[in-house]
Amino acid sequence: MDITNLDYKLFEHGFVRLDGAMASDLSVVNSARVSFDKYQYTMDENGSYLIKFLMKHRHGTPFEHNSFRFHVSAPIFVVREWQRHRIGSFNEMSGRYVELQPNFYIPDLPSVRKQEGRPGAYQFTRMPREIAGFIQEKMRNHYEAAFDSYLELLAAGVAKELARLVLPLATFTTMFWTVNARSLMNFLSLRNSPEAMYEIRQYAKYCEIIFRALMPITWRSFMDNGRVAP
């Protein structure tokens, strides 16, 4: 698998790219077969059945002997949801050490939405185009004013770690996320889902494309199992 092509841009300043991986369907098969002191060098039909069996019966640990290292640029509000997923490792750019850039998320017109209904059953619907345009403008103006304040505080000698407090959650940040397939499936099941927030769903969608490319039989079994992580 050529992982250099697994590089996706999204929104104005964001990306998801696979920085490295140690992942294959065969590793799942061998992690399970070690129970019988067996090892195989290539995937075969029996291996595919075994993966399906493990997924269906929720024998989850054989799906842990692999890793995906994602390099991500996303707005802080997306990363905040992402980092709730505890089974995985994160390292993130530090606003204590680097001067942040005026890179902010502005939803495109169709993504400016309103929220109706009750908690647990919200409907998100598009706002009329002219109102959506006005909201984009409001956000842009607010971000620019916030960034001006940030620069003023830095110019006054305030430490970066304090000056950043005036910046919005829409500010882009960068991180690495290393995760195994079992935890990744849990993330995909929750975040590449219509219930998840639109913006994190876009990132999860690309993580899933990458997962599918590297572990196609595991991905197929995950789908057949109703997208329930084992």
Residues at the interface with ligand FAD (CB under 6 A): 84-87, 183, 186, 190-191, 195-196
* d(C-alpha 211, C-alpha 68), whole Å: 8
Q: Which residues contact 230 (CB under 8 A, 6 or more apart)?
A: 54, 55, 58, 59, 60, 63, 182, 185
Q: How far is the CB of 81 from ligand FAD (least distance, A)?
A: 7
- The side-by-side arrangement of strands in the sheet containing 7-10 is 7-10, 14-22, 67-75, 172-179, 89-92
191 is catalytic: yes
CA distances from 211 to 47, 107, 176, 214, 221 (A): 18, 27, 16, 5, 12
Q: Which is nearer to ligand FAD, 164 or 191 (CB)?
A: 191
Which position's Cβ is nearest ligand FAD? 86
Q: How far is the CB of 177 from ligand FAD (least distance, A)?
A: 11
Q: How far is the CB of 124 from ligand FAD (least distance, A)?
A: 12
Q: Which is nearer to ligand FAD, 37 or 195 (CB)?
A: 195
Q: How far is the CB of 186 from ligand FAD (least distance, A)?
A: 5
Q: Which is nearer to ligand FAD, 10 or 190 (CB)?
A: 190
Single out the catalytic residue among 84, 126, 191, 201. 191
Cβ–Cβ < 8 Å for 230, 182: yes
Q: Check residue 4 and report its DSSP letter.
A: G
Q: Which is nearer to ligand FAD, 30 or 186 (CB)?
A: 186
Which residues form the catalytic set? Answer: 191
